[in-house]
Structure formats: C-alpha cells, structure tokens
Structure 1
Amino acid sequence: MVLFGRLPLSLTFERCHDGAIDVVLAKSMSPLENNWSEYSRFFTALLVILDPFMAIPILLSLTDGYSAAERNRVARTAALTVAAVLVLMALLGETLLHWLGTSLGSFRVGGGIVLFLMALAMLQAQIDRVRTSRQEERSAATRASIAVVPIAVPLLAGPGAMSTVIIAMHRSTAPYHAAMVIGIIALVCLILWIVLRLARPIGALLGDIGLNVLNRLFGLILAAIAVEVIANGLKQLFPVLGT
C-alpha cells in the first residue's frame, strides 16, 4: 500500500491492526453512547437552572389559603407551561437567532452572563431579578392563574433556561438529538412537577435554612456551568483563544 509503503512490516501491521480496532469500536458504539456525557451535562444544567427548590417559598406564599387540590393544580399547570415554553424554544430558538442575526457564539456569551448573574443571586439565597421582578410578584395575586405568571414564566422558564435549551439544541443535527433534548426537558419538568406538588412537606422538612443551603449549592454548580458557557462562546467568537 502506498500509505504504509515506507514503514516496516511489523509497524504497518500494528498500525493497521490498531486502526481496525478503532473502527470496530467506533462502529460498535452508537452516536447516542458517544454523546451520553453531553446529555448528562445538559440534564444537570437544566435541573440546576430551573431550581425547583427555589420556587417553593414563592409557591407557598402565592398559594396561601389554597386547598391541596388547588395547589396541586397550580404545580401541574406550572410544570406543563415550563415544558411547553422550553420545547418551543428548542424547536424555534435557532430560527429566532438567524432572524435576529445573532451568532451562536455571542448568544453563548450573553446566556452565560445571565446564568452567572443567576448563580450570584442563588449564592446569596436571593430571588434574582433576572428571573422575575417585584411588580410581577405583586401583580400575581390579581391574575387568573399564578401558575403561568410568575411561577412558570419567568421564575422557572426564564432567560437562563431558554438560552441553555437553545445552545443544547444547536450542538448536533443528528435525527435523534432533538428527541433526546425534548426527552430531557420532559424528564426535568417531571421532577419539577413532583417537587412543586410536594412543596408544603418539603418546605416543612427543610425549612428556610435547608432551602437556602440547597439554593447556594445549586448556585455554585450554576456558576461553574456559566463560566464554561462563556468560555466556549468566547472561543467561538475568537478562535485564537482556543489555540
């Protein structure tokens, strides 16, 4: 063979043999298995960003005087609304970026900054105003359904969650990728619904101190995720940084 013509026979055989093994291994592993760590990171990031434990005090405050059935209905509506918003952003987010003329690199940097601001607020055990404003919280009592505003949007499905979903959706064009992203969104929203449904017993069990500790832990994880998102965005905008 011309490719290995100048190599010793034993070395040619070893390299061919290694190459054959590599090909066999690559074929035996599906693309889904190769990207499993990426999907695991997306699941963790989305769960941390939504942070259902952060919503417990607000949910209990806004549903004070509600019956158990009414509170469960609010939890279900909020989880379904979050799922619908995030799936919509996953399917239409890239089109929206093209329409706005925004590159994925700049969107990653902007989204990473939003995530970092959220992380700082979580580390201080505060409700960050990137998610929801005081006016939205005060007006919530006059709305027909507080499950949609402000609990689902923008408290849970805020800019951070939306940008994370859009970035994750853009990572691959494989046919299975969209299904995996939507499946992970559904799984996270299922966990969100369970936590919100059990908001009263969880709040009573953990108390304010326990919830604050969880929020700070999630904030620390989110800060690390935000730095990585910003770094990847800067490398995409300025390729020289990746060398």
Structure 2
Amino acid sequence: MDFPLEFVISAAVTLFVVVDPPGLVPIFIGLTDGMTRDQRRQVAVRSTFIAVIVLVLSMLIGKPLLGALGISLPAFRIAGGLLLFWTAAEMVFEKRQERKESTARQSVSQDHIENVAAFPLAVPLMAGPGAITAIILLSGQAGGDPLRLGLLFAALAIVLGICFTFYLAAIRIEKLLGITGRIVLTRLLGVILAALAVQFVADGVLAIAANGVE
C-alpha cells in the first residue's frame, strides 16, 4: 500500500489554514487578560480538548449523518468548498479577525471568564463551521481507509497541538509577529485556503457530473 503523502499534506494544510492558530493568538490574549499563567494554561488545555472532541466526532459521524439526511458527499463537498472560500475571502480582506474579535467581546460580557475555554475559544473559534466542514470533507476523501483516517486524526492532533503551543506562548508570539506580521500571514493563509476551496468545489462538480446526485 502506497503512503498517501498528497492526502496528508492536503489535510494538514487545510486544517491549519481553517483553524488559523496565528489568528487565534490575539483572541486568546484578549480573553485571558488578567489571568495568571496557570489559569491561562487551564484555558488552553480545556479549549483544545473540547475542540478535539467536536472535530473527531465530526470526522467519525459526519458522513453517516449526511447519509441519514439524504445529502450526498459531492453536494456537501460543493457547499463546503463554497463555505471555505467565504472564510478565505474574509481572511484575505481582514474581515475574519474582526468577526472573531466581535464574537470574543460578546462572549466575555455574557459569560463568566471561567467559561471562555468552551465558548467562544473552542467553539466556534477553533472548531467552527469551517473546521467542521473541512474535517467531514477530508474524512470523505479518506474513503473509509483506516490508514488515511489515522493520518487525518494525526494531522488534526498536530494542528490543535500547534494551537495549544501558541496559546502557551501567546504573548511572545504577539510581540514577535506584530500587527503587520499577523495581517500578512493571515492573508497568505487565506489565499492558500481559497485555492483548496476551489479544488473541493471542482471535485464535487466532477463527481456529480460523473455519477449524479445519489
């Protein structure tokens, strides 16, 4: 059995740009403002754990759930690709960060600080609609192959592990990147995500053209 290198790279890049660990750093700093180092670590651990649970469940039962609703994977791939493209456009034109910061501000005023790890940090900022869509599409591409599913889980673990690491070093990273660095990196990731989103849509259209909507 050949090692699916192309699938691994596609999965890792897609998840990284959708979750967007660098873009979450300033949000994490804002949400945990005034907390001690230990409290920030607790928030980082809890938010990462919740995001893992949400995305792993989406990976395992997302496709069967679609089948129960009568939605074909190619149709969902097209819809998901369009959603990812919208997310990419927000990143390129610097709208996504504004939306994330707005969501964060609303949550702090409505919930106590001890709940920020679950909302909005884990959901919807880490495991949001874009990430859930991407993990379902990627699990569909795995086609039930245990090796591919295992590699997809590994890619997910790595991306969320990067998030956790960034959270622990959030203040240093914020100072290192600066405002200009964060904007440039976010827009670059947005362009990459846009290209991947177009590929999702193209794959869905070709699948429907070849086999029709089941």
TM-score, with normalisation over the residues of structure 2? 0.90
Output aligned runs, 1:215-226, within 5 Å.
215-226=186-197
Output aligned runs, 1:163-174, within 5 Å.
163-171=133-141, 172-174=143-145
More deviation, 168-177/44-53: 168-177
2:184 alignment counterpart:
213
1:13 alignment counterpart:
none
1:57 and 2:26 are equivalent in the alignment: yes
1:85 positional shift: 1.0
CA distance in 2, matches of 1:91, 1:47: 19
Q: Deviations over 1:171-223 (max 9, x none)?
A: 22223232222122112111111112111110011111111111011111111
CA contact (8 A) 1:97 1:103 kept: yes
Q: CA RMSD in A?
A: 2.1
CA contact (8 A) 1:76 1:197 kept: no
1:230 alignment counterpart:
201
1:59 positional shift: 1.2
Output aligned runs, 1:15-34, within 5 Å.
30-31=1-2, 33=3
CA distance in 1, matches of 2:48, 2:163: 6
DSSP-derived class of the 1:170 partner: helix
**Structure 1 or 2: larger helix share?**
2
Output aligned runs, 1:137-148, within 5 Å.
137-141=105-109, 142-143=111-112, 144-148=114-118
DSSP-derived class of the 1:192 partner: helix
Letter in 2 for 1:127: R
DSSP-derived class of the 1:101 partner: coil
CA distance in 2, matches of 1:74, 1:98: 36
Q: Judging changes above 3 Å, is the alpha-carbon distance between structure 1 residues 100 and 185 closer, same or farther for their aligned structure 2 residues?
A: same
1:156 and 2:126 are equivalent in the alignment: yes
CA contact (8 A) 2:27 2:101 kept: no
Q: Judging changes above 3 Å, is the alpha-carbon distance between structure 1 residues 212 and 178 closer, same or farther for their aligned structure 2 residues?
A: same
Letter in 2 for 1:56: V
TM-score, with normalisation over the residues of structure 1? 0.80
1:165 positional shift: 0.9
CA contact (8 A) 1:123 1:216 kept: yes
* Poorly superposed stretches of 4+, deviation over 6 Å: none
For residue 73 of structure 2, the aligned residue among 75, 89, 104 is: 104
Unmatched tracts of structure 2, length 5 or more: none
CA distance in 2, matches of 1:85, 1:49: 15
Q: Deviations over 1:211-243 (max 9, x none)?
A: 111101111111111111111111122239xxx
Residue correspondences, number:
209
CA distance in 1, matches of 2:74, 2:28: 35
